């Protein structure tokens, strides 16, 4: 494509210029030259160490923002394309680099304290049980990261680090109470403390809301506890968590119903009483080195969750157990061209799903399992004070198994066992180069993969019931420059992703698409305009389209070509802050609209404004926020169903987003 050449050529020239010039910097400047790729073994501990493709959100930024939920912070501070979850409003769907049409939840790895929260089913990573008071920092890595995290990181990684228990820490705590529109009420309590070499944390959340739409009430509760022991050369700990939610489903609306009343629930009699009840327990154990010449770490976790639901005609239950073990060792050595930080790692996962689906025409029972073992190696090489090179390789072996029982008569034989083993590779190579005292150029190439999960291999929703879908393979090239002067920072990134066998759902059938691509530009700017006024701005252009097949040249569903953000923060006084935030995005092709080149409809573009005020007392903060200030009626998700005509309903269904809503939050420290 000619546009590809024109977009990548200017940055290729910048990269070439970086290699052609010699720049003298101080020895101390080496620590300011960041890695180019995400590493599973190490946390980013400063803004200077952030990879150019990443965004680091610190605890101070979270506290100063006035935002009150983890999803809101990721969306507004991290500029991540965020959509409300379809199974309750608390957990959002995050899309990095334009994977909205092929389930963004399966292309973005969400990692919490080294544990993967991304599900091995078509479900949103549930992170709403983590209160903001428990978050130490958030790293958002854009672009493929399969070397570090394997399957399901084609779009990027969101890595959340919580506050760790500290030994000899006096007992302290935080609490909050929030009231808002739609009879919403949320309370949180967090405790921290320690004695001797032992520390503990405890976080509890309770919330309830009637929801923006009819029949969209939601009740939620969670508790998270951690206990740690700190020795002279080791840090060890255990964490326990439990959460539950009870959600009513309002369902989708036709376009006519949306225009008449976006707050109504789906009027179809079979959808009355739709619900989801979710329960999850989490246990994890970790071990980390400290004060040693090399680093090592081990994480072991189990997530045991169950969901009972009714969604129109189908009702059923799904039970999922996921076990994870990951470990790494990292050491520093000099020679062979510079200073190397070598990391060796291994990861093992085992996910087991039992599901029962009850339909009017029959019952489907399925047992599925996905096991994987992976080994990876990476080298972070400081060649000089002005040049840093990263390289890595991963080999992952995946076993998939299903046993299905079907008494509907659609599939013969009724009982079927299917299994396979596949070996997949990922690799990456990147560099960063100091161009001037304030300007750094960077580039990276990576090859990654995504394996169809247990849901996507369901025999009732794929063309050939006795087979598995092909793995999704990706190749990505990224180039860019970053400028940093004091507190002012600008970043420009250009990227191109080539995808083979992208996995998507079309008319309730999971398929491998023809070859697709993403070509994009990302720009970010942050600066202090005056002592009291701060500016944040970001823009993303994403050209997502098919490269082959009858849809060649048409765009991939649910990927807006343009997204923009503009935020102005004003410090009214030493205690009183305010912010107004504008966000906008262009239209999108309807989800599932892949039967023909001509589009059956669009998700219209929209622009929103949010306003917030924050007042600080000695040990308390009051936060008042207004989202969707001008009460825009809009929807960010709409789907096309070609089979709807056979049931006499409209083929386009949309899910309205909330209108203007208010929230008042009181936060206490003690």
Which residues does 603 contact at the CB level (< 8 Å), separation at least 6? 558, 587, 588, 589, 590, 635, 636, 637, 638, 654
Q: Is 311 helix (H, G, I), strand (E, B) or coil?
A: coil
Q: What is the pTM of this model?
A: 0.90
* pLDDT on residue 102: 66
Label residue 70 by pLDDT band (50, 70, 90).
Answer: very high
* pLDDT on residue 409: 55
Instruction: Compute the mean pLDDT over every residue in the chain, rounded to the nearest whole number.
Output: 88
pLDDT digits over 616-663, tens only? 999 999 999 999 999 999 999 999 988 877 777 889 999 999 999 999
- Work out the average pLDDT over 548-567: 96
pLDDT digits over 559-603, tens only? 999 999 999 999 999 999 999 999 999 999 999 899 889 999 999
| Residue 169 pLDDT exceeds 90 | no
pLDDT digits over 448-480, tens only? 999 998 878 876 666 566 678 999 999 999 999
Q: Which of 215-229, 239-253, 342-356, 641-655 has the lowest mean pLDDT?
A: 641-655
Percent of the chain with pLDDT over 70: 90
| Domain 2-669 indexed as CATH 2.40.170.20 | yes
Label residue 47 by pLDDT band (50, 70, 90).
Answer: confident
- Burial label, 5 (beta-carbon count in 10 A; 0-12, 13-18, 19+): exposed
- Work out the average pLDDT over 88-102: 84
Q: Which of 560, 655, 662 is nearest to 610 (CA)?
A: 662
Q: Which of 25-34, 295-304, 541-550, 657-666 has the lowest mean pLDDT?
A: 25-34
pLDDT digits over 337-368, tens only? 899 999 999 999 999 988 888 877 677 788 88
Integer Cα distance of 597 and 603 in angstroms: 16
- Work out the average pLDDT over 532-539: 97
| Residue 17 pLDDT exceeds 90 | no
* pLDDT on residue 3: 42
| Residue 230 pLDDT exceeds 80 | yes
Label residue 11 by pLDDT band (50, 70, 90).
Answer: very low
Q: Kindly provide the b/e burial profile for residues 237-247, where b requires at least 16 CB atoms within 10 angstroms of the residue's own CB.
A: bebebbbbbbb
Percent of the chain with pLDDT over 90: 69
C-alpha angle 69/71/75, rounded to 5°? 120
């Amino acid at each position: 494509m000619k546009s590809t050449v024109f977009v990548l050529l200017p940055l290729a020239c910048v990269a070439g210029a970086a290699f052609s010039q010699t720049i003298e910097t101080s020895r101390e400047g080496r620590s300011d030259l960041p890695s180019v790729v995400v590493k599973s073994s190490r946390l980013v501990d400063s803004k200077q160490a952030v990879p150019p493709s990443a965004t680091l959100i610190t605890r101070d930024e979270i506290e100063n923002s006035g935002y009150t939920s983890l999803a809101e912070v990721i969306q507004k501070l991290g500029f991540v394309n965020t959509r409300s979850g379809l199974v309750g409003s608390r957990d959002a769907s995050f899309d990095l680099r334009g994977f909205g049409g092929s389930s963004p939840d399966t292309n973005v790895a969400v990692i919490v304290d080294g544990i993967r929260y991304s599900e091995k089913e078509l479900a949103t990573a549930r992170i709403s049980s983590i209160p903001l008071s428990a978050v130490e920092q958030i790293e958002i890595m854009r672009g493929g990261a399969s070397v570090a995290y394997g399957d399901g990181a084609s779009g990027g990684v969101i890595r959340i680090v919580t506050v760790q228990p500290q030994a000899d820490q006096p007992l302290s705590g935080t609490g909050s109470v929030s009231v808002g529109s739609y009879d919403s009420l949320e309370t949180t309590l967090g405790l921290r403390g320690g004695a001797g070499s032992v520390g503990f944390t405890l976080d509890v959340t309770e919330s309830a809301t009637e929801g923006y739409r009819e029949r969209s009430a939601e009740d939620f509760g969670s508790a998270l506890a951690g206990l740690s022991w700190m020795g002279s050369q080791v840090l060890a700990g255990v964490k326990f968590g439990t959460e539950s939610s009870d959600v009513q489903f309002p369902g989708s609306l036709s376009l006519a119903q949306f225009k008449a009343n976006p707050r109504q629930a789906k009027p179809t009699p079979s959808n009355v009483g739709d619900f989801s009840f979710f329960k999850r327990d989490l246990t994890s154990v970790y071990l980390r080195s400290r004060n040693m010449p090399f680093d090592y770490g081990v994480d072991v976790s189990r997530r045991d969750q169950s969901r009972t639901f009714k969604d129109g005609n189908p009702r059923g239950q799904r039970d999922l157990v996921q076990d994870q073990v990951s470990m790494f060792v990292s050491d520093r050595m000099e020679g062979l061209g510079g200073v190397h930080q070598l990391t060796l790692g291994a990861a093992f996962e085992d996910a087991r799903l039992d599901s029962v689906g009850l339909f009017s025409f029959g019952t489907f029972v399925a047992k599925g399992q996905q096991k994987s073992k992976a080994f990876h190696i990476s080298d972070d090489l400081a060649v000089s004070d002005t040049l840093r090179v990263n390289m890595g390789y991963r080999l992952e072996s995946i076993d998939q198994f299903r046993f299905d029982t079907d008494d509907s008569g659609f599939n013969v034989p009724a009982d079927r066992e299917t299994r396979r083993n596949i070996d997949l590779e990922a690799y990456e190579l990147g560099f960063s180069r100091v161009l001037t005292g304030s300007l750094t150029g960077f580039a990276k190439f990576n090859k990654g993969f995504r394996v169809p999960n247990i849901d996507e291999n369901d025999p009732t929703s794929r063309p050939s019931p006795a087979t598995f879908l092909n793995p999704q393979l990706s190749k990505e090239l990224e180039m860019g420059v970053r400028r940093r002067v004091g507190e002012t920072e600008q970043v420009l990134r250009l990227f191109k992703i080539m995808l083979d066998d992208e996995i998507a759902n079309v008319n309730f059938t999971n398929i491998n698409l023809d070859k697709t691509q993403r070509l994009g530009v990302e720009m970010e700017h942050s600066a202090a305009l005056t002592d009291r006024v701060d500016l944040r701005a970001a823009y993303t252009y994403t050209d997502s389209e098919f490269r082959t097949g009858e849809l060649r040249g048409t765009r991939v569903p649910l990927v807006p070509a343009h997204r923009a953000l503009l935020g102005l923060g004003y410090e009214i006084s030493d205690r009183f802050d305010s912010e107004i935030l504008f966000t906008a995005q262009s239209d999108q092709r309807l989800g599932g609209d892949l039967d023909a080149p001509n589009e059956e409809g669009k998700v219209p573009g929209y622009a929103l404004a949010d306003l917030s005020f924050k007042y600080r007392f000695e040990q308390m903060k009051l936060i008042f926020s207004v989202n969707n200030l001008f009460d825009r009626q809009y929807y960010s998700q709409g789907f096309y169903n070609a089979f709807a005509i056979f049931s006499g309903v409209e083929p386009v269904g949309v899910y309205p987003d909330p209108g203007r809503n208010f929230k008042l939050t009181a936060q206490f420290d003690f």
